Amino acid sequence: MPIQMPKLDEGRVYRRAEVEQYLGKQDGTSDYDVAALHFPRNLQTWEHDFRGWRDAEEMVLQYRVYPMADFEEQLRELEEAFTRHADHRRRIQAIVEVLLAGRPFYPVFLQQNDTRRRIIEGMHRAVALLQLESPCLPAFLTGYRNWFAPDDRMPGFDKEDEITAATLRDVYAFFLHATRVDHQGIQLALLSGDRLGQCDEALVAKYRGTVIGAVTLAVAKGKPTLSTVYVLRQYRRKGVAYRLCEKALTRFKEAGIEAVFCDVQSAGMEATLRRLAQERPDLRVLVKERIGFLPGEEIEMGLSDEAPEEGES
C-alpha cells in the first residue's frame, strides 16, 4: 500500500493553523511547539540564537519534499542508535503500522537556513519512512516570513556545488521529486522509469547537498544515447543543464564513442546544443540529434520559462 503523503502545496509557506492536521504530537505537545522553543537555532552551536530571535513574530512553515537519498546517511545513524533501545524500536514499529494503515505522514521539521539539513523533530517517523523504502521525505522548513522568497526561483543560487556520478535508483528518486514539485504529480515520459531503464549511467548536479538536476546516459547499454537532461525549475537559467551535458558528453568521449544519439524535446535543449557548438565543438560533433517537438509546444506544456542556455531532452 503506498504511503499517504500530506495534501499540501510544495513550496507554499503556511501558518501553524493551516497545517494543524499534519503536526505530530508527543504527550499532548505539538512538534511545532517543540521546534519553536529553540527557534531560531544558531547554526554553529545548534542552540537557541537569542540575537536572531524576533519578539512577537511567528515562526512559519514552508512545505518541501526532498529525495530520501539526501537524508539516508543521517537517518541510518539515527536508526542504528534507535535499535539499541526497545522503546525506540517499538515507537518506530508503531509508526510503520500507522503509515501502512493509510494514515498520512507528518512532515519532519528542519530549519530553513541550515545547509546540513539536520532534522529537529520527527526523527522516529523519518526512520520509519526510510524502512518503508519511500523515495521521498516531506518536511516543514521553519523560518520567519521574510526568509522565504515570494517567487519560485531559489534566492542566492548561482551555480551547483558539484556534478557527480549517481546510481539510477537515486536518479529515479529525483525524477519522482521533480514530478511532484514541477508537474503537480503528472509524470512526463521524459522522467519515466521505462526511459531510465534504457540507461546505464547517470550524473547529478548538487547544491548544498541536494540534487537539483540530472542527466542519464546509455554508454554500454544498446545505442549510445544522451537520454534525459532535467533541472528543477527553481534552479534554471544558470547553465546547470549545459554543464550536465558537457560532463555527460565528456564521459562518452573518454569511452571512445564517436556518435551519441539525442532525442531533443525542447527549444531549451536545442539552445544547449548550440552553445556546445560554440564553446565545446569537440563535444558537439558527437551528438546526432533528432528534433522531437514542434515550435510553440513548450508554451503549451508550461515550459516557457526555460532560459536559452537551459534545456530538457
**Residues belonging to the chain:** 313
3 state DSSP class of 261: strand
Cell readout for 189 is 515520459
Query: What is the C-alpha separation between 24 and 175, in angstroms, rounded?
Result: 28
**pTM for this prediction:** 0.54
pLDDT score recorded for residue 306: 40
Structural domains of the chain, ranges and CATH numbers in brackets: 13-147 (no CATH), 162-300 (3.40.630.30)
Is the distance from CB of 31 to CB of 24 less than 8 angstroms? Answer: yes
Backbone angles phi, psi at 25, to 5 degrees: -135, 140
Question: Which helix H or strand E contains 264, and what residues bound it?
Answer: strand 260-264
Q: Whose CA is closest to 140, among 60, 61, 74, 30?
A: 61
pLDDT score recorded for residue 75: 97
Identify the weakest region by mean pLDDT among 57-61, 94-98, 125-129, 182-186. 182-186
What are the pLDDT digits (tens) for 46-89? 999 888 888 878 999 999 999 999 999 999 999 999 999 999 99
What are the pLDDT digits (tens) for 223-273? 999 999 999 988 888 999 999 999 999 999 999 999 999 998 888 888 899
Give the model's confidence band at 41: pLDDT under 50 very low, under 70 low, under 90 confident, else very high: very high
DSSP state of 237: S
Q: Whose CA is closest to 163, among 61, 46, 245, 257?
A: 245
Give the model's confidence band at 313: pLDDT under 50 very low, under 70 low, under 90 confident, else very high: low
Question: What sign does the CA torsion over 81, 129, 14, 146 have?
Answer: positive
What is the pLDDT averaged over residues 100-106? 93
Cell readout for 249 is 558528453
Query: What is the C-alpha separation between 254 and 213, in angstroms, rounded?
Result: 22
What is the pLDDT averaged over residues 200-212? 92
* DSSP β-ladder status, 162-165 and 136-143: unpaired
Query: What is the C-alpha separation between 96 and 58, in angstroms, rounded?
Result: 32
pLDDT score recorded for residue 1: 58
Backbone angles phi, psi at 81, to 5 degrees: -65, -40
What are the pLDDT digits (tens) for 289-306? 988 754 443 432 223 234
Query: What is the C-alpha separation between 204 and 221, in angstroms, rounded?
Result: 19
Q: What DSSP line would sit under 198-231, residue for residue?
A: T-SEEEEEEETTEEEEEEEEESSSSS-EEEEEEE
Give 205's strand partners: 163, 213
Query: What is the C-alpha separation between 293 and 298, in angstroms, rounded?
Result: 8
Backbone angles phi, psi at 206, to 5 degrees: -120, 145
Backbone angles phi, psi at 224, to 5 degrees: -55, 120
